[in-house]
Amino acid sequence: MTAAGVRCMLMRGGTSKGVYLLADELPTDASARDRVLLQIMGSPDARQIDGLGGAHPLTSKVAVVSRSADAEADVDYLFLQVGVDVPSVSDRQNCGNLLAGVGQFAVERGIAVVDRSATESSLRVRMINTDSIATSTFPVAGGVPVYEGSTAISGVPDAAAAVRLDFEDTAGSTCGALLPTGNLVDVLEGVEGVEGVEITCVDNGMPTVIVRAADVGIVGSETCADLEANATLRVLLESIRIEAGRLMGLGDVVDATIPKMTLVSRPFEGGSICTRTFIPHRCHEAIGVLGAVSVATALLIPGAVGAELVEPGADPALVEIEHPTGVFGARVEVTQNEAGVKVGRSGIIRTARKLMDGVAFPRP
């Protein structure tokens, strides 16, 4: 494999960038597969200078795609987060941003066929990480994907074709429940430095911990660089994350990429809420797709941490989430009654673009 190289496609999906590969062109043994992926990405190395990684968690991602073994789906998608300066490959979370390019990649590789007369394709994607289904709808022409378009999303410099992602049954997909602790609000106790801090733990596709920015000593509109330079804040957030991970049933999360941490404050730019998200140790320049869906879900539940900070808009199901590089709109159907909280369909708009198609040569 090292001598012949590995066929792959480099794509931007949403505000992330990753390497897309076919499952049957990788080793079937997970350990052997992960070794190849580390070599392809150039990890472990802070610069990933000897591989395709972009020296940041948002650009050190892999999508492994195959024809679906599930009769209810068209393709299967396994997301793998590759460590940058550590030799790790994790399948403990989904990535909704890379999902935005999975359908197009499947068509490009011929594992999903589109009628040449069609102008739009909708593919059902089984997200293996959480065993849940998403429908990806994107434009096509002549049987191939169309990447050019007029849709702009925050965090991406140019417009491209819109990709609509509709999620089904993502509530509790990792933790087993929408509110994994069984509570809408938990108050941390017995944890040095964070005693009395209120959190809401939610999992609607991405295990996420929501904290008021003011409760950890920040305004909420700071830049990522300023927040990452705040050593006291980072230690505080990690203490909260570790305890929240335990409460959410995730066990010891010290070396895990979940749960994510989202700090919320009143909006500054006309949105519904302002956020700063840690993924989990770097501050996200935007916000992840499923992280945004989870945050929006929690904020639509009266009494959740941060729900009182939301500025409602004309569409009660739409939460316009401000982040460091713009605004992310997430529409979530949430109902609450005596039986509890129920989540219906979640939908968002992303874009994706094919950047390179060729062969990667893993280092020996």
Domains of the chain are 6-167+351-360 (3.10.310.10), 186-349 (3.10.310.10)
CA distance 20 to 65: 7
pLDDT at 286: 94
- C-beta of residue 201 within 8 angstroms of C-beta of residue 179: yes
pLDDT at 106: 98
pLDDT at 2: 58
pLDDT at 121: 98
pLDDT at 117: 98
pLDDT at 70: 87
pLDDT at 68: 97
pLDDT at 116: 96
pLDDT at 16: 96
What phi and psi, each to the nearest 5 degrees, are found at residue 40? -60, -40
What phi and psi, each to the nearest 5 degrees, are found at residue 319? -115, 115
Q: What is the pTM of this model?
A: 0.86
Low-confidence ranges of the chain (pLDDT < 50): none
What residue type is assigned to position 354 of the chain?
A: K
pLDDT at 113: 95
CA distance 227 to 218: 9
Other residues' Cβ atoms within 10 Å of the Cβ of residue 169: 16
Q: Compute CA distances 356 → 143, 193, 250, 285, 359, whole Å.
A: 19, 47, 37, 23, 10
Q: Compute CA distances 336 → 67, 153, 210, whole Å.
A: 37, 31, 19
pLDDT at 161: 98
